């Protein structure tokens, strides 16, 4: 039976794709987003793709009274909490803003949920909480993030663990995403980073569309198959289905449980570039430059727990990821603008 889900950050990249999945599965969505890193056009396009309405509230999570108004007068069954700031370099430069937005924002949300008797939540965490632990990464590895952004995720995970330990009626899923890429196969919604992209695939796609000159490969002297960094890229629609699986698992869940959302396979920067070139149908200019400070050589998931306990696995291939990213980028060369 359809539930009413409060989605924070639903206008963002992963949130918008998850909203499509939720609406198609028969759920009702109430969305809260301050649009600090997203466009209202994303919400319009989700509605257009699904033929369903979203109750959208342009509200900041730090606005406790505003958030309270969203919970008042309606039954919310569960929350999926995407809202947060996520740029690694920006987090290092603006720690107070990042801790305030991500950690305090989550505390305001949890307090509001508690007052309204809502105790089911799925939280967007990140593989970055594993720090430098060796791959394949399992959920029982000790966590210890490097950097401000990662530490906001680690702190929120610990807050949620403590909450579940103290108040057994809470049911909490921590989803640790690996590297989300790709877009909806319609090409209508996708990732629209502000400014010059930090992440590999958006950067490659902006080179392909002519907005940027050439791809910079951050180091080819790592101890990997071709010397370039290896990551577990996962299609955003597989991530979206992971959220549905997490929601469905809540009734039988006790306390707080973490799950990796990854494919379990690592691809190098050059393998990703090759797949992007196949999707785009031309070669893309690139040069090898110095390693990016803070980068890991290799990161990929052991996705066994999500398979066993959520009955979820990633299905899409590297070529699907690149073809869908390219469809979105080529049909929307300037994003949602």
x-marked contacts with ligand NAD along 47-86 as a string, rule CB under 6 A: -------------xxx-------------------xxxxx
User: Least Å distance between CB 4 and ligand NAD?
Assistant: 19
Q: State the binding partner of 231 from ligand UD1, ligand NAD, none, CB within 5 to 8 A by kind.
A: ligand UD1
Judged by CB under 6 A, which stretch of 69-77, 129-137, 193-201, 321-329 contacts ligand UD1? Answer: 193-201
98 is catalytic: no
Stretch that binds ligand UD1, among 49-57, 72-80, 210-218, 312-320 (CB under 6 A): 210-218
Query: CB under 5 to 8 A by kind: which of ligand NAD, ligand UD1, none does 85 bind?
Result: ligand NAD
Both tokens assigned to 258: 């973490």
What angle is formed at CA 136 by the lines to CA 134 and CA 141, rounded to 5 degrees? 65
User: Cα torsion for 27, 30, 31, 32, to the nearest 10°?
Assistant: -150
Does residue 260 belong to the site contacting ligand NAD (CB under 6 A)? no
Phi and psi (nearest 5°) for 147? Answer: 95, 160
List the one residue out of 39, 120, 38, 44 whose CA is nearest residue 79.
Answer: 120
Q: What is the CA radius of gyration of the chain?
A: 19
At a CB cut-off of 8 Å and minimum separation 6, what does 150 contact?
A: 88, 126, 128, 129, 131
Binding region for ligand NAD (CB under 6 A) out of 4-12, 210-218, 221-229, 298-306: 4-12
* The pairing of beta strand 55-58 with beta strand 4-8: unpaired
Distance CA(239)–CA(245), nearest Å, equals: 10
Residues noted as catalytic: 149
Residues lying near ligand UD1 in the complex (CB under 6 A) are found at: 88, 126, 128, 149-150, 179, 198-200, 203, 216-218, 229, 231, 269, 292, 294-295
Residues lying near ligand NAD in the complex (CB under 6 A) are found at: 9, 11-15, 32-38, 60-62, 82-86, 101, 105, 124, 126, 177, 180
């Amino acid at each position: 039976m359809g539930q009413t889900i409060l989605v924070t950050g639903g206008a963002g990249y992963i949130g918008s794709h998850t909203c499509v999945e939720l609406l198609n599965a028969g759920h009702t969505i109430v969305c809260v987003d301050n649009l600090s890193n997203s466009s209202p056009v994303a919400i319009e396009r989700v509605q257009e793709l699904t033929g369903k309405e979203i109750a959208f509230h342009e509200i900041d999570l730090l606005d406790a009274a505003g958030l309270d108004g969203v919970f008042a007068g309606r039954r919310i069954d569960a929350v999926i909490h995407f809202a947060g700031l996520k740029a690694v370099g920006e987090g290092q430069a603006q720690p107070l803003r990042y801790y305030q937005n991500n950690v305090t924002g989550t505390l305001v949300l949890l307090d509001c949920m508690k007052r309204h008797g809502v105790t089911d939540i799925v939280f967007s965490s990140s593989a970055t909480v594993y720090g430098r632990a060796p791959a394949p990464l399992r959920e029982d590895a000790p966590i210890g993030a490097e950097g401000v952004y990662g530490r906001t995720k680690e702190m929120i995970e610990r807050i949620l663990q403590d909450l579940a330990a103290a108040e057994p009626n809470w049911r909490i899923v921590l989803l640790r995403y690996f590297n989300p890429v790709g877009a909806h196969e319609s090409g209508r919604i996708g990732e629209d980073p502000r400014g010059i992209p930090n992440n590999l695939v958006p950067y490659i796609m902006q080179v392909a569309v002519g907005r940027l000159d050439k791809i910079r490969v951050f180091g080819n002297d790592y101890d990997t198959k071709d010397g370039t960094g290896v990551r577990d890229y996962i299609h955003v629609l597989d991530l979206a289905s992971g959220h549905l699986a997490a929601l469905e698992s809540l009734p039988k869940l006790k306390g707080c449980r973490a799950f990796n959302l990854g494919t379990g396979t690592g691809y190098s920067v050059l393998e990703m570039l090759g797949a992007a070139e196949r999707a785009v149908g031309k070669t893309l200019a690139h040069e090898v430059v110095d390693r990016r400070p803070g980068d890991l050589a290799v990161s990929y998931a052991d996705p066994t727990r999500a398979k066993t306990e959520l009955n979820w696995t990633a299905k899409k291939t590297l070529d699907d990821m690149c073809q869908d990213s390219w469809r979105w980028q080529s049909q929307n060369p300037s994003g949602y603008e």
